[in-house]
Amino acid sequence: MTNADMILDQVDVVKLDISIWTSSKKLRAEDLMLADGSRLPPEDLASLGTKKTIHPDKLKEFNRIKKEAERICLESGTRFIGGFANPRTEITRITQELDALSKKFYQERDLFLASYTADTEEWIRCHAEFGDAIRRAIEPVGTVAAKLRFDYVVFRVTKPEQEESLERRALTMSEQLFREISQDANQIIDRSFVGKDSVTVRALNGFRRIRDKLDSLGFLDHRCMPVVDEIDSVLDLLPKSGPYNGVVFHSLFRLGLLLSDPDKIKRHGSGLLQPDTVIDSDIVLEEDLDDQLIPDADSTLVDEDIVQQPVLEITTDTEDNDLGEQPEVQIESDVDDLPGFDAFLAKYDSSKEDTVTQEPLEATEPFVPSDALLVLVENVLGSLVGDVQVTAKAVTQVADVTPVESSSEGDREDIDDDDLVESEETASTDFWF
């Protein structure tokens, strides 16, 4: 089974047979009163047009009913070979609504025919100078009644063997569907969005009708359902009551623009177009990001107001012992680095010492520390060395003290001889200073 056969197997065609009398008659030369010396153009050059035998407003209701019948057929269908192709599941609903509309049509026809003669006479009185021209064109009531007709027929279409014309028409049914959707969307935009900054719930009804139509005819083209999902995603996020303005208004406007172009509908259905790209003003281009300054990974950020220099970190901790509270010097480096401290002091050049300043440094005028600052730094370092020596001597004195024997013999038995030897070796250790 071909694609055309699959489509035709799921649709029935509804063909409307509605006739409306227009009251228009051909305008003749004798119907016109020409001024002296004037003449009419020949018939092969120009047509004189038509004349009305009754007020056009008397026929407005018949035209409205005809448009309503077309709307019913297009609600879930699309135009096809002079009729309206609809899913087979929708035919029962369509025929019921058309039957109700047919009754209303004939009721209006009876009312119109009842006042037909009086209405034509009123029309003549309104245009007394052309009364004779109007009377010559008036039709009898029976003729007018025959020209006011409402009917429809439902049928199915099958493709004969070796016939390609019907197959072509069936395969292009989706193209007709997308054109109809775009026409409906353009009407929504013109009526509800152009020149306005808010919309009411009535505009949403138009989007819902488009959505239901695409959903019912989704078997015609695989691109229908992504568009249905897009409409659902927009409408589901809206508040329950209007009016809708601001961001919601622009979201609906963007959806209307997407549906107003058959090509955009097909591209979105194919996954080639996102709804956010419909309005160029809402696009954030990647080139705009180039204007932002992004520092390189190797770049160094310098604060011109405060230049932080590495500072020797000294922390003190107090510990209760026999000598009282003594400061404990902790240096970030390991203890093994202490023997090289004298060499560091010997090579120390105070003129190259980094300093902390609150003023920005000029590259052409390097900072030179004052004599008072150099003296202060030397005093601090000298005091530091003195404190380290005092602490070391105190530790040596503690190591030389003879341990007091316990009055309990059991305690002495718990002391290991190796521990005593290790303690003596520790006491005789020669310190680095």
Q: Is the pLDDT of residue 356 over 70?
A: no
Nearest in space to 322 (alpha carbons), one of 423, 394, 428? 394
pLDDT value at residue 344: 61
Proportion of the chain above pLDDT 90, given as a percent: 39
Question: Which of the pair, 181 or 400, is modelled with greater confidence?
Answer: 181
Cα 8 to Cα 2, 91, 247, 252, distances in angstroms: 10, 14, 43, 34
Close Cβ partners of 34 (under 8 Å, ≥ 6 residues apart): 40
Q: State how far the Cα of 97 lies from the Cα of 93, in Å rounded to an integer.
A: 6
Helix spans in 24-75 (H) = 60-74
Amino acid found at 189: I
pLDDT value at residue 3: 82
| Residue 410: both structure tokens together | 């059991």
| Residue 137: both structure tokens together | 């064109």
Q: Maximum CA pair distance of the chain?
A: 159
Q: What is the pLDDT of residues 182-211, one digit of tens each?
A: 999 999 999 999 888 888 888 889 999 999
| Section 358-368 average pLDDT | 51
pLDDT, mean over the chain? 75
Amino acid found at 428: S
Question: Which of the pair, 277 or 169, is modelled with greater confidence?
Answer: 169
Q: What is the pLDDT of residues 64-111, one digit of tens each?
A: 999 999 999 999 999 999 999 999 999 999 999 999 999 999 999 999
Q: State how far the Cα of 186 lies from the Cα of 257, in Å rounded to an integer.
A: 8
Q: Is the pLDDT of residue 406 over 90?
A: no
Q: Is the pLDDT of residue 366 over 60?
A: no
How distant is the alpha carbon of residue 132 from its chain centre? 66
Cα 345 to Cα 58, 84, 281, 385, distances in angstroms: 116, 102, 68, 11
Q: State how far the Cα of 50 lies from the Cα of 139, in Å rounded to an integer.
A: 15
Dihedral sign, Cα of residue 236, residue 242, residue 248, residue 252: positive
Q: Is the pLDDT of residue 382 over 50?
A: yes
Q: What is the pLDDT of residues 18-54, one digit of tens each?
A: 999 988 888 777 777 665 556 777 777 777 788 889 9
pTM of the shown model:
0.58
DSSP string, 126-190: HTGGGHHHHHHHPPPHHHHHHH-EEEEEEE---PPTT--HHHHHHHTHHHHHHHHHHHHHHHHHH
